[in-house]
Structure 1
Amino acid sequence: MSPAPRYAAHMRALMAASLAAALLASAPAFAQAPPFEPTGEVRFLGWGSTGSGAAFDADRIIGPSVNLTRREDGSWAGDLVGQNLDLQVSPKKLTGPNVNVGYETKDGRTTIEGLFFGQRIRLELDKKRLHGKVGVCSLDLSRKNPQFFQGEMGCTPSGRNAFPQTSRASLQLIGEAGSDQPPMPQLALALIAILPG
């Protein structure tokens, strides 16, 4: 075998060995990542449309339109409804570029209010109902049981000849999402992810 083919074969073997070593070195990191086991979930269905949902635990929020992770310093990062986020968290507020959302749970009532990328959010959730507004949509849902709300949703699209659209809607709060002290900011971010606006 001439030197050129031997060199090429040696380089291929070296590259394969390097790749195998890199994969082996990274394998423990993947093996150590705990599996996602949600402790709460929210599901929304506007009748006549497809539903949406988001699940969360202490460190992650996952759904079709959300993938956020809590970092070691307590901040959250990832994406939500197509926006890349880097959020700072205080006991009652989420802040970041284009995000300023406050939240509070007191006497069985949870309030979420602020701005998310120019979209106004105002939601109140208590033992009897969830009502409020997200962007161009308003919600007025009555609690049918501890985990289930049902009622009316109306949206006013922009445009000169746009007519308001109304429909029935339902919201399900599963696990910690339906507790008297739901975990924040997880519930606030999950609701922003799933509610129409």
Structure 2
Amino acid sequence: MDLVDSYQALCRGALLVAESAEDAYRLGALDRFLKPWIRERLDRLGSLLESCDTRRELAEDTRRLATTAAGYSHLRNELFSDVHHTRPEPPWRIVETGTFAIRAQSGVLLEQPTFVLRRLAAAADVPGAATWEFTVIDNPSDAGDTGTSFVAMISNGDHPGGVPVQVAKELETNRAWYQQLGHGFYALGITPFLPAIYDPDRHRK
């Protein structure tokens, strides 16, 4: 088996790891976000062989493929346990550093929403701001629950006191969801400035 065949076999193996995790740890509505993400990620890593020039680069690229698949399997296990097992309240789970995070709350004693925060493609940006999507899923076990999504605009540039975040008044007035939005940004390493937290009556104006 030559290098190309071996690398393609590794790609197939990485996809098998992902598919096995999807079958073992079923996440309902979250699959709308997670399944396309992991396949795009594996496809991108699978194409690195074309630009691989040294043995060290090959070692790094194959390691990234293997660890990405294994990390996805571990993430699904964690999210499944967050919803279905009795244990301390789960934190925000990082899907992709700096751009994508999920908080799946425990549903053992009562149904609670799951939150998804992700950076949208650069094509969705507007001048001076990056575009994010914050989704609240009421019934995360239901694959048909598409959730309620809100656009969050984050200002570009340096902001020592926190990055200004602009959202719809509907989200500002739902204090529990608005607070989770802030926690999500903190989990991703972004310090947000959320005006409605510091001005509680802002949404009434």
The answer to whether TM tops 0.5 is no
Structure with the higher helix share, 1 or 2? 2
Relative contact order, CA 8 A, sep 6+: which one is greater? 1
**Smaller-chain TM-score bracket:** 0.3 to 0.5
Over alpha carbons, which structure has the higher Rg?
A: 1
Structure with the higher strand share, 1 or 2? 1
Q: Which TM-score applies when normalising by structure 1?
A: 0.33
Q: Which TM-score applies when normalising by structure 2?
A: 0.32
